[in-house]
Amino acid sequence: MRNISVEDFRGLSAPEQKLEIVERKGLGHPDSICDAIMDRISVDLCTEYIEVFDTILHHNIDKCLLVAGETTGIFGGGVVVEPMLLVIGDRATSRAEDTEIDVANIAQDTARRWFDEKLRFVQPDFIEYQIELKPGSAELTDIFRRKGDILGSNDTSAAVGYAPLSFTERAVLDMEGYLNSPVFKEEYPESGEDVKVMGIRKEDKLDLTVAMPLIDTFVDSEQHYFNMKKDIFGAMNGFLTDYMEERGIYMNASITYNNLDIAGRGMDGIYTSVTGTSAEDADCGQVGRGNRVNGIIPLNRPVSSEAAAGKNPVSHVGKIYNVLSHKIAANIVEKVPDVKEAYVWLLSDIGVGIDRPKVAAAQIIMEKGTVDSVAKEVKDVIDFELEHIQDFCMQLARGMIPVC
């Protein structure tokens, strides 16, 4: 029997609270770049390990630093003076059964492809790479040689997930998704990928603060910048208005866009970019400093402290439980009648199978009725997901579940 408990959540649901603050760091934000690339490297390593050894070997590609470069912004097209540096580090198995795996080459090729696919204005020579991947410790790598389909946890670590997203959380997430969508980029190719959305709801008033650079190749003058900014601002407002109407949400809403801009200061007073990311000259990036695994930074909610991106998907509970806790919470809300909001807590026990956490606990807010009346159903949902955790881990290994 698994140690599963269910109890009341002692607090208001997120929409009932007077204040919500939610942040989303978009596709081209330096922190998001690090998370996305490290997790893609893990997926590609898993693919290589399975192809060569028919199993996933030990790796934790969860240490990364994107060091900002240097650019000179110019109306009509700036230049890169010094490239960015991507430092990829931590642990990966490079040799097993007398067979070598070129983990450094896999890591660098994966990173290059990611930049090529995701950031339109980052050229290959704008990035330099430093690969610092070493073999893992004997004790942790031995976990992968022990018998059994389900591996033991490689750490004692806790995670928490919740569902559903509130309207504020969803609006922040979807605004960034809209601004970085292919449709938006086709209509506004001058918009960069480094989008950051900060949302604050005070009772029935929602305010979104958006930062998104314009690519200086498209900007002929300061006035041209402000004209394009006005058009984009109108598109944002139109999106938010339609978004609220489609969901039957009626509240006061406002958007602030590139609030640091000051007319009359030329290039110094406007937010432009050569490459579309502030990592070109303004801001370094690091794994774990960006979005949580549900895509946002929700300041009102309990969140996990682990950085999930890049950790191996079959023994590292810092990744597995981080993502699984949100999945379980969503399934509880979907499958158990009258549950308004669910929080799920998972705590591993190092060396014990990942399907048997030391603690698996759900905290429930009911729409009506009592928690006691649905406790068995909630436990059944949790037990089912833990029973099928191997399938879940393979979905993580194939990159089927986003973690940032």
Q: What is the pLDDT of residues 346-365, one digit of tens each?
A: 999 999 999 999 999 999 99
Report d(CA 162, CA 158) in Å as an integer. Answer: 14
Encode pLDDT of 138-175 as tens digits: 444 555 666 567 888 988 999 999 999 999 999 999 99
Residue 137 pLDDT level (bands cut at 50, 70, 90): low
Our separate counts of H helices and E strands in the chain read 9, 19
- Per-residue pLDDT band at 96 (split at 50, 70, 90): confident
Q: Which helix (DSSP H) or strand (DSSP E) does residue 50 occupy? A: helix 30-53
Is the Cβ–Cβ distance between 326 and 163 less than 8 Å?
A: yes
Q: What is the pTM of this model?
A: 0.95
pLDDT of residue 98: 87
Are the C-beta atoms of 184 and 177 separated by less than 8 Å? no
Domains, the chain, in order of start with CATH, read 15-25+167-269 (3.30.300.340)
Q: Which two tokens stand for residue 248?
A: 């039957």
* pLDDT score of 126 more than 80: yes
In tens, the pLDDT along 377-400 reads 999 999 999 999 999 999 999 999
pLDDT of res. 138: 43
What is the arithmetic mean of pLDDT over 62-90? Answer: 97
Above 70 in pLDDT, residue 105?
A: yes
For the chain, the average pLDDT equals 95
Q: Beta strands 214-215 and 272-273: pairing type?
A: parallel
Q: What is the pLDDT of residue 136?
A: 67
pLDDT, tens digit, for every residue of 196-255? 999 999 999 999 999 999 999 999 999 999 999 999 999 999 999 999 999 999 999 999
Q: Tell me, what's the pLDDT at 150? A: 86
Contacts of 121 (CB under 8 A, 6+ apart): 192, 215, 217, 273, 274, 275, 276
Does residue 113 have a pLDDT over 90? yes
> 265-306 pLDDT, tens per residue?
999 999 999 999 999 999 999 999 999 999 999 999 999 989
Q: Please tell me the predicted confidence (pLDDT) of residue 147.
A: 59
Residue 368, both tokens = 């009506």
CB-side exposure of 404: number of CA atoms within 13 Å?
29
The amino acid present at 116, given as its one-letter code, is D
pLDDT band at 2 (very low <50, low <70, confident <90, very high): confident
pLDDT at 149: 72
The confidence score (pLDDT) of residue 144 equals: 64
Structure tokens of 64?
A: 């990364």
pLDDT for 375 beyond 60: yes
Predicted local distance difference test score (pLDDT) of residue 151: 87
- For 19-54, how does the pLDDT look when each residue is reduced to its tens digit (9 = 90+)? 999 999 999 999 999 999 999 999 999 999 999 999
From its phi and psi, is residue 167 left (phi > 0), alpha (psi between -120 and 50) or beta? alpha
**Residue 336 predicted with pLDDT over 80:** yes
Average pLDDT of span 97-109:
94
